[in-house]
A and B are shown apart, each in its own frame.
Chain A
Amino acid sequence: MKDTGIFYSFRSVKTGQQVKKILKLLGSDNVTAVDIDVATGEDFMKFTNYVLAVPTWFDGELPTYWDEFLPSIEDESLKGKNFAIFGGGDQKGYPENFVDGIGLMAEFLEERGGKIVGFTSTDGYTFEGSKAKRGDQFVGLALDIENQAALSNERIDAWVKSLTKEFA
């Protein structure tokens, strides 16, 4: 697996726990963890493969740390880079904007030539609308610890397994 960066907010609690599991499965020696709260554009552009932790805030927004970071790379070309996005959402509390954050991030990256990998099936989720939905798939991994916490490990396992092939 080529050079891989996993970007998340080191201050986050729920996301931080999910990252730990992903790192364990990917093998932490192969992956560099970067704190998005302090990352620069230069830090970001170093990698070929990316795992981005993008939970959805409020009614379908990016967290502040991503919102504030993205201008750093808005003029960059992301061609040749692979992005796997995961993030938390609440399909019961926010059914109209379930994991919109994943979709917003995917759109931003694709507009700059990035390739999104790690699509997952929407089967097993109940929601009304999502910017992350394309056909019958999400453009990443949706985790819902508010309503389906018991399924998270299984979903992460399957997703990381698929990533190891796509990041090869």
Chain B
Amino acid sequence: MSDIPKIHSIKKTDKDTLLKWYRLLFLGRTLDEKAPNYLKQAIGWSYHAPAAGHDGIQLAIGQVFDRSKDHLFPYYRDLVTNVSAGLTAEEIIYNGISKDADVAGGGRHMSNHFAKPEWNIHNVSSCTGNHTLHAVGVARAIKTYDSKGVAISSQGESSVSEGYVYEAINGASKEQLPVIFVFQDNGYGISVPKKDQTANRKVAHNFEGFKHLRIMYCNGKDVFDSMNTMLEASKWAEENQKPVIVHANCVRIHSHSNSDRHELYRDDNELGYVKEYDPLAKYKRLLIRYNRATEEELSAIEAEVADEVKVAHRKGMAAPHPTPESAMDYVIPEPYVSTKYPDGTHNHEGESLKLIQGLNETLKAEFRNNPDTYLWGQDIANKDKGGIFNVSKGMQQEFGKKRVFNAPIAEDFIMGTANGMVRFNKNIRVVVEGAEFADYFWPAMEQFVETTHEYWRTKGQFSPNITVRLASGGYIGGGLYHSQNIEAALTTFPGVRVVYPSFADDAAGLLRTSMRSEGMTVFMEPKALYNAPKAATPIPEDFEVPFGKARIRREGSDLSIFTYGNTTHMCLEAAEKLEKEGFGNVEVVDLRSLLPLDNETILASVKKTSRALVVHEDKVFAGFGGEVASLINSEGFEYLDAPVRRVGSTFTPVGFNRTLEAAILPNTDKIFEAAKDLLSY
């Protein structure tokens, strides 16, 4: 016997509610059927994944969602969910035909990705199931802040195959979070039948061994079963502060989307069979059969809806498109502005602190400064250990396990739940150790890319306020997976800042600015310098370094070297040697910030010296230095007396054997030789 209370049924539910549901279902279906016409007329809505056949569960999700306390993460088939949650026909059409008035994000995201961030109906990725991690993250905040409400994530059953969905459910189970994962099972992932996804026909069965997790099955085609199940799921998750999976059996009446032709892989018998169970038709028959509504009452609702959609259509057609110049708006929010250290330099004298001390003390200071600051990652805190390199040492003891805690070995989870948690409150700042080493950040790339899109895609409605710390680079005999520099890949994405300090004071100042700013910053830490005396400096207690401000670490007149991270120190050594040996006076510019890049300082230095060498630890080919060289060539060509040269590692992985490592990575001698050549050009 089912353990789900039967609150609603065709006989028990009051008539007003029944009619309201009919109106929402009919409105959803009308819009769902109208959507392909916009494409046929070349107006827009080029992506439309029909909701027909999912109507019961989608109505229920929208009805159960309470925007005063819940967070909803709908997927691209959730048209009825959004209508049921309160989006108007107008709002649906604005999104469908990508108008500037689209409340999801002004037509920036693909059609059929309905959202309203203002109401906690989040604007999610097209990478299906990706938002499960965001739901878990925001549920963590709901629990942390002892708030009411639940996070509701909705997706198709096939997307449960994604690894990050398992990471999300594992995390929700481990942390006991109030999140509902709704699987809308229509049997197909585009054309792929579910038997090709996983062994169990009902994918929710795969999770039956997860602790603290309740699994409910319902008929997603039936309004009453869906409503009763979602009501119980929400109540149980909130009361017990534990996760729920709702597995809803649906049918897909139409093709996956308007680029799919389901008649290529489904026969007439199947198509007839699924149509037989049209949830809207069934609901209407029930209303009539049990005398809960008359044909006339339902016809009146249908006529009202038709008029409403006509009006919405006219408004949609008349609404303006986004302007071309608006494309550059909302790429990344404005950073924190330092009034005391506007160029990120200081004259503080005192004891030199190591780079690792600078990071540790700044983290602690910022945690004291903002009680809504959190830190998690792998190996982050266990008794006296704090991070794989002890950067976060002592933090859990001082700030407690709610604010500083270990994460599972699941980089996408670390990154994705950060994206989710910061949605709860704009004051929240999350610092993650994105991976134990930058080399292991690749599994998180999917969530990283997603997070770079958020601010732009929502037209500035959601800013992921996250600092991603990554221990980077080589020179420790670490081999292929403990030596990588990944900044060249990360800086190709608009929507993130990337900084890479070389000295303790800059590390402290950039970290403080990152943690006070809105938006995402990747903070690369040259791990070979954590304890290096050469990177130690005095650090003002409140030091701040603005983004996009390079620092001239050595003044010179004959050649400019642009560098960052580990190689800054090698460049300084090479410069000293060059001057000592009479080859020239070399200027060394520590870029500190790669994205944004300090074009002004770079070009001013080239103007002064007329020669430029770009040095970094990463591979020369396709390394970040190519961007610096290109800037100089295009903007500073007339200042040059010699070609721009680059020094970096060979186009190979970094070998473990010390002889290989030395042959591959740049060093002072290689920089010296390249600079000497350039000075004599």
Binding site for B on A (CB under 8 A): 57-61, 64, 67-68, 71-72, 74, 94-97, 107, 111
**B433 touches A (CB below 8 Å):** no
**B472 touches A (CB below 8 Å):** no
Binding site for A on B (CB under 8 A): 1, 9-11, 185, 200-202, 205, 219, 222, 249, 251, 273, 276-277, 282, 285-286, 289-290
Contact of A67 among B200, B222, B273, B290 (CB under 8 A): B222
Contact A74 B205 (CB under 8 A): no
Residues of A within 8 A of B202 (CB): 59, 96
Contact flag A61-B249 (CB < 8 Å), given A71-B9, A97-B201: yes
Closest 6 CB pairs of A and B: A96-B201, A71-B10, A64-B282, A59-B249, A71-B11, A59-B201
Contact B201 A71 (CB under 8 A): no
Question: Considering residues A58, A72, A111, which has the most beta carbons from chain B within 10 angstroms of its beta carbon?
Answer: A58
Contact of A64 among B1, B205, B277 (CB under 8 A): B277
Closest chain A residue to B286 by CB distance?
A: A68
- 25 pairs across A/B with beta carbons < 8 Å? A57-B277, A58-B249, A58-B251, A59-B185, A59-B201, A59-B202, A59-B249, A60-B249, A61-B219, A64-B276, A64-B282, A67-B219, A67-B222, A67-B282, A68-B282, A68-B285, A68-B289, A71-B10, A71-B290, A74-B9, A74-B11, A96-B201, A96-B202, A96-B205, A107-B1
Contact B1 A111 (CB under 8 A): yes
Q: Identify 14 new A-B residue pairs, CB closer than 8 A, beyond the known A64-B282, A71-B11.
A: A57-B277, A58-B277, A61-B249, A64-B276, A64-B277, A67-B219, A68-B282, A68-B286, A71-B9, A71-B10, A71-B286, A94-B201, A96-B200, A111-B1
Residues of A within 8 A of B222 (CB): 67
A85 to chain B, nearest CB (A): 17
Cα distance A97–B247 when bound, in Å?
Answer: 14
Closest chain B residue to A111 by CB distance?
A: B1
Cα distance A96–B206 when bound, in Å?
Answer: 13
Closest chain A residue to B194 by CB distance?
A: A59
Cα distance A59–B289 when bound, in Å?
Answer: 26
Residues of A within 8 A of B251 (CB): 58
A129 to chain B, nearest CB (A): 9
Cα distance A100–B282 when bound, in Å?
Answer: 21
Residues of A within 8 A of B290 (CB): 71-72
Residues of B within 8 A of A94 (CB): 201
Residues of A within 8 A of B219 (CB): 61, 67
Cα distance A64–B185 when bound, in Å?
Answer: 18
Residues of B within 8 A of A57 (CB): 273, 277
Cα distance A97–B205 when bound, in Å?
Answer: 12
Residues of B within 8 A of A107 (CB): 1
B70 to chain A, nearest CB (A): 28
Residues of A within 8 A of B205 (CB): 96
Cα distance A94–B219 when bound, in Å?
Answer: 16
Cα distance A10–B273 when bound, in Å?
Answer: 16
Residues of B within 8 A of A74 (CB): 9, 11
A121 to chain B, nearest CB (A): 25
A88 to chain B, nearest CB (A): 13
